[in-house]
Amino acid sequence: MGYEWDFAVVFRDFDLLLLGLVNTLKVTGLALLFGVPLGLALSLARLYGNFAARLFVGLVIEFLRTTPPIAQLFWFFFALPILIGVEIDPFRASVLTFSLQSSAFFAEVFRAGIQSVEAGQWEASRAIGMDRNETLRRVILPQGVKRMIPAFLERAIELMKTTTLVSAISYADLLYQANSVAQSTYRTIEVFSVAAGMYFVVIFACSLGVRRLERRMARSGETVMN
Amino acid sequence: MSGGRGADGAGEALRIEDLRKSFGDLEVLGGVSLSVRRGEVVVVIGASGSGKSTMLRCVNFMEIPTSGKIFLGGALVGRERGGGIEYREKELTRLRARVGMVFQHFNLFPHMTVLQNVMEGPKTVLGCDGEECRRRGNLYLDRVGLAWKAESYPSQLSGGQQQRVAIARALAMEPEIMLFDEATSALDPELVGEVLETMKALAEDGMTMIIVTHELGFAYTVADRVLFLSGGRVLEEGTPSEVLTFPREEGTRNFLRGHGTFRLPEPRLD
Ligand SMILES: Nc1ncnc2c1ncn2[C@@H]1O[C@H](COP(=O)(O)OP(=O)(O)OP(=O)(O)O)[C@@H](O)[C@H]1O
Ligand SMILES: [Mg+2]
């Protein structure tokens, strides 16, 4: 006798799962919103800062990249409040952790993108009197960012997957909600299957969207002849 | 030779005094001096590694000279201090806007249209407003005969056209002097002519130019003066006919022998 599937129960509590998904997207979105510009700033400091700044930022980036995300999350949720004497709720702790954590990865994506632009572009920009910031803003980043899109997307997806860790500090993300629905309905298999499906749909839709964007940008005269 | 051009010696565009440049232990320029009048066209020739590019790159401070002085429009660049010259990056950035440079590899901005490429300097560096920038962009594109390609991207142009856009991009800054570093060396032979024609037209309009080239026929017809660089020094200097047809120095002769007879620019059949 096989397992009797019953999705009806799951769909009765689907609004709870949707709420979880919204929370997941909220943390991911905010982490991107803060993490991307911070990553850009870190990459610029690492590339063009003075010796002390390069060293310091390099260490911070390596530290964020090499320590387990769950340990960082626990640190910001349990340790930081004791240090500063202020409660931090799971939502804020999550956003803080993943903004910082993803900024380290985005810093490396930006760095690779900036460095992939040929030296000739710097030369040409300098020759018409542009300074470093103008060159970065007008010439290097617009080209680098295009090339970064695949790596950027990969990191964003990785980020969304990593945010499942927030359920460990009781933040009601999709995984956390799935877990509580599973416990109240005893329909563990169905609930987690549906939750996995929801992750899949969102992430797959994102990557399709970006792939289309990439194709459109490729058509607008990107290929270099010389 | 320089028929009908306004090279009347009215002022000095550039003066280089005892310019030296070393990379580590390697001395690439060993004391070059040169004075260029307004509207004068100086062609620099020399073997590979003789320091031609380095000399040009020092003139617009893409490389900082190890020692020596450079005067632009009569004024010393940098400040004298303790026997040397002190340069500030900010000043050099401003100064580069006054010196146009065209490279062997055109280095156009691939993410911008042709017009945007030409407008970029005026817009970002000189801060002109949108209308004025467009006007300038179109003006200089027209000067190189490419106004009709304004909305194309560089990748849609031939190599010769790309190089002409690069020339327009430099011209749009309305520089006091233009430097060309082997502007035709990366081009297929059939595309060389159009770029040389463009440069020749500039010369005839009275632009001050220093041109590094291997196109000796072109040098012969366009130059007011030819410099032969060898081992980071000026070995011989004079009118095109002095240096190219009656070279005095053995080094110059050897170099010219290696070149065979010069090729003249594409004939104009109009
Ligand atoms: N940034 C640099 N660092 C170290 N050495 C350099 C640098 N730039 C140029 N050189 C060296 O300086 C010498 C002269 O180079 P330069 O490019 O000025 O010669 P060139 O006359 O332009 O040669 P070519 O005809 O091949 O372009 C060469 O030996 C080159 O290797
Ligand atoms: Mg060279």
Of ligand 1's listed atoms, the one at least distance from the Cα of B50 is: 21
Residue A20: CB atoms within 10 Å: 24
**Ligand that lies nearest to the alpha carbon of residue B230, given by its number in the listed order:** 1
Tens digits of residue pLDDT in B123-157: 999 988 888 899 999 999 999 999 999 999 999 99
Whether residue B213 contacts residue B219, with contact meaning beta carbons closer than 8 Å, is answered with yes
Domain positions in chain A are 8-219
Q: Does the pTM exceed 0.90?
A: no
Whether B108 and chain A come into contact, CB under 8 Å, resolves to: yes
Q: In chain B, pLDDT over 70 holds for what percent of residues? A: 92
Quote ipTM for the complex: 0.87
CA of B251 to the centre of ligand 1 (A): 19
- Give the residue, out of B19, B22, B45, B52, with the most ligand 1 atoms within 8 A of its beta carbon, to mutate for a pocket test: B52
Q: Residue A123 and residue A129: Cα distance in Å, rounded?
A: 10
Whether B185 and chain A come into contact, CB under 8 Å, resolves to: no
Q: Residue B62 and residue A49: Cα distance in Å, rounded?
A: 21
Q: Band of the pLDDT at B1, cuts 50, 70, 90?
A: very low
Question: How many Cα neighbours within 13 Å face the side chain of A98?
Answer: 27
CA of B190 to the centre of ligand 2 (A): 22
Q: Is the CB of B232 under 6 A from ligand 1?
A: no
- The confidence score (pLDDT) of residue B70 equals 94
**Given a cut of 70, is residue B10 above it in pLDDT?**
no
Q: Which residues in chain A have Cβ-Cβ distances shorter than 8 Å to B124? A: 130, 134, 138
- Give the residue, out of B21, B25, B26, B61, with the most ligand 1 atoms within 8 A of its beta carbon, to mutate for a pocket test: B26
Q: Which residues in chain B have Cβ-Cβ distances shorter than 8 Å to A123? A: 62, 103, 107
Stretch 125-184 of chain A: residues touching chain B, C-beta under 8 Å: 126-131, 134, 138-139, 142-143, 146
Q: Residue B140 and residue B173: Cα distance in Å, rounded?
A: 10
Q: Is the CB of B53 under 6 A from ligand 1?
A: yes
Beta carbons within 8 Å of A139's beta carbon, 6+ residues apart: A117, A121, A122, A124, A125, A130, B109, B120
**Ligand that lies nearest to the alpha carbon of residue B255, given by its number in the listed order:** 1
Whether B121 and chain A come into contact, CB under 8 Å, resolves to: yes
Tens digits of residue pLDDT in B176-200: 999 999 999 888 888 898 999 999 9
The protein residue with its alpha carbon nearest to ligand 1, atom 3, reads B23
Work out the minimum CA distance from B248 to partner chain A, whole angstroms: 36
- CB-count exposure of residue B30 (10 Å: 0-12, 13-18, 19+): middle
Look up residue B193 and give its amino acid: G
Q: What is the mean pLDDT of each run of 10 residues along chain A (226 residues)?
A: 79 87 93 95 93 94 93 93 91 94 94 92 94 94 86 89 90 88 87 91 88 76 43
Q: Which two tokens stand for residue A180?
A: 């509580």
Using the beta-carbon criterion (under 8 Å), do A124 and B62 form an inter-chain contact?
no
Q: Residue B221 and residue B199: Cα distance in Å, rounded?
A: 12
Q: Residue B187 and residue B197: Cα distance in Å, rounded?
A: 14
The protein residue with its alpha carbon nearest to ligand 1, atom 18, reads B51
Tens digits of residue pLDDT in B18-59: 999 999 999 999 999 999 999 999 999 999 999 999 999 999
B/e letters for A155-187, b = 16+ CB within 10 Å, e = fewer, are bbbebbebbbbbbebebbbbbbbbbbbbeeeeb
Q: Which residues in chain B have Cβ-Cβ distances shorter than 8 Å to A120? A: 103, 105, 107
Q: Residue A94 and residue A60: Cα distance in Å, rounded?
A: 19
Q: Residue B257 and residue B234: Cα distance in Å, rounded?
A: 18
The protein residue with its alpha carbon nearest to ligand 1, atom 12, reads B28
CA of B53 to the centre of ligand 1 (A): 7
CATH superfamily of B5-259: P-loop containing nucleotide triphosphate hydrolases (3.40.50.300)
Closest CA to A160 of A17, A33, A29: A29
Whether B97 and chain A come into contact, CB under 8 Å, resolves to: yes
Running DSSP on this structure, what letter comes out for residue A6? -
Q: Which residues in chain A have Cβ-Cβ distances shorter than 8 Å to B101? A: 127
Signed CA dihedral, A134, A139, A140, A144: sign only: positive
Q: Is the CB of B52 under 6 A from ligand 1?
A: yes
Tens digits of residue pLDDT in A11-51: 888 888 899 899 999 999 999 999 999 999 999 999 999 99
Domain positions in chain B are 5-259
| Helices (H), ranges, A7-140 | 8-12, 14-48, 51-66, 69-74, 80-84, 90-115, 119-127, 132-135
Q: Options 1.10.20.60, 3.40.50.300, 1.10.3720.10, 3.40.640.10; which CATH number does A8-219 get?
A: 1.10.3720.10
Q: Is the CB of B23 under 6 A from ligand 1?
A: yes
Q: Residue B230 and residue B253: Cα distance in Å, rounded?
A: 12
